[in-house]
A and B are shown apart, each in its own frame.
Chain A
Amino acid sequence: MPRKSHLSLVVPVVPPASAQGLAREPLAHEPLRELYEKYGASVHGRCAYLLRDPSAAEDAMQEVFAKALQSYEGFRADSSPLTWLMKIATHHCLNVLRGERASWRQRFADEERRRSEPEPARPQAFELRHEVRKLLERFDLETQAAAIHYHVDEMTLEEVAALLGRSIPTVRKRLEEFAAVAVADAKELA
């Protein structure tokens, strides 16, 4: 039986003084507006890509920005707040997907059914993202995140490893496993 892991790629978040305290304090709107204007579309795009449901994507995006506000100083200090947010959004959405009612087998069956339906012509980038998303459910959470950051965000191997806090060989192995399945799938379809 293969060794399976479900790694939750939790990023340090400065906790609120207390949940009650948070409920009483108004949000700082200037940072929030800045977050909206600079990062809203990117984060929403990531959530929509993974969740494929407008309502769920909006909810997820709100959760991501709520987390960002809770650790605003640390977030601002990051060398790339956008990368930080995309990691949080990816992690959050993958967990949402994992918690969904349908098992991956059911969703895979759904995907198989969709695949049999005619697809309109799409740009190449869309096709790649579609293929990546279709394969995600066959992998553990860490591989899913690595594949998204590598294939969708087009980060380098080193960047993905740094983002996930894993070694380069580990991430390489994950991505090679992902690619091997993708190649096998493509051959099967050919």
Chain B
Amino acid sequence: MGLQLRTSDNVLGPGGHLAELRMRRLRVGELSVADAGAAKQHLDECAACRLRLEGLESEERAFSQAIAYPRFAGGVERAARVPRPEHRPGRRSVIYAAALGCAAAAAFLLVFRQGGDGGTDGPGLYGGPENRTKGGASVDVSVRVASGDGRAQRSAAPGSTTPLAPGERLRIGYFVPGTRYLLAVTIDDAGTMSPVFDEGGDSHLVAATKAMTFLPDSIELTGAGHERLFLFVSQTPFPGAVVQAALREALNKARGDLAAMESPRVSADMTGHSWLFRKP
């Protein structure tokens, strides 16, 4: 891998050979007559490319032997029968902004508790009585929304859909009386999950706080449609894979409708909180 990038001026792959995808497209008859002719001429002259082509043919034989058509068809049919949320065109992303380098993010540090103006998550939707973790100690969480142009901030209400304007960012706050494990993940209405905190997808230990404390990064949800942000808090560590599997199940149960999706409760000492956003 070098820093000299190939462009269309040299459409052959590295070393002047046929590019891998081009060779595969030749195999399935996707190349134009002219391109196919040029590719075949190159193959006639290039032993290395003929060898690679034989490798592709061998790969195809191995595939059909390993996975025969009935098995393939059955598997695809099963995959297609899993209720799938509506898949909207567009591109979505979760963008983290540097907390200290962004005035809007700094403004997020104004303390806001969910119980103060957003209300606590109800037990029916979030599975935990008044957001209290085991032991009776209060855990408060919040999500603040702010634009980058200094306009007034607002809090995201957990029980309704919060519309986002272009460029608006979210910041997740928490108040915990003792050490806790946090995990934040988003899921959009295409069913794509994006770990937010920690980035690797597992729960992350945070120290006790004396005031509302915000996670270090702000988040921008881009693309169209809706996206739900989940924040899980627990006294014990928990793997992200378990949470994601539970979220997937909850999404399927809600038939892909993020608004109807309930926050799963993965363990007894875990509380779940969520906010639904409509992206610009």
Contact = CB atoms under 8 A, between A and B. Distances in A.
A12 B87 CA distance: 8
A2 B98 CA distance: 7
B98 A3 contact: yes
Given A10-B90, A151-B1, 4 more contacts: A27-B73, A104-B200, A153-B21, A165-B91
24 contacts: A1-B216, A3-B97, A8-B194, A9-B91, A10-B89, A23-B81, A27-B77, A27-B80, A32-B76, A40-B72, A41-B60, A44-B63, A45-B59, A59-B79, A67-B87, A69-B76, A99-B241, A101-B241, A150-B5, A150-B6, A154-B14, A155-B21, A156-B6, A179-B1
Contact of A6 (B5, B80, B194, B244): B194
The 4 closest A-B pairs by CB, nearest first: A103-B200, A154-B19, A19-B83, A101-B241
Interface of A: 1-13, 15-16, 19-20, 22-23, 26-27, 29, 32-33, 36, 38-42, 44-45, 58-59, 61-63, 65-67, 69-70, 80-83, 86, 95, 98-106, 125, 128, 131-132, 149-159, 165, 172, 175-176, 178-180, 182-183
Contacts of B7: 156-158
A112 B8 CA distance: 36
A42 B20 CA distance: 11
A27 to B, nearest CB: 5
Contact of B67 (A44, A105, A172): A44
A41 B66 CA distance: 10
A8 B20 contact: no
Contacts of A149: 21
Interface string B79-111: 111011111111111111111110000000000
Contacts of A40: 60, 63-64, 67, 72
A150 B97 CA distance: 28
Contacts of A172: 5
Contacts of A128: 1
Interface of B: 1-3, 5-8, 10-11, 13-14, 19-22, 24-25, 28, 30, 52, 56, 59-60, 62-64, 67, 69, 72-73, 75-81, 83-101, 188, 190, 192-195, 198-202, 216-217, 223, 239-241, 244, 255-256
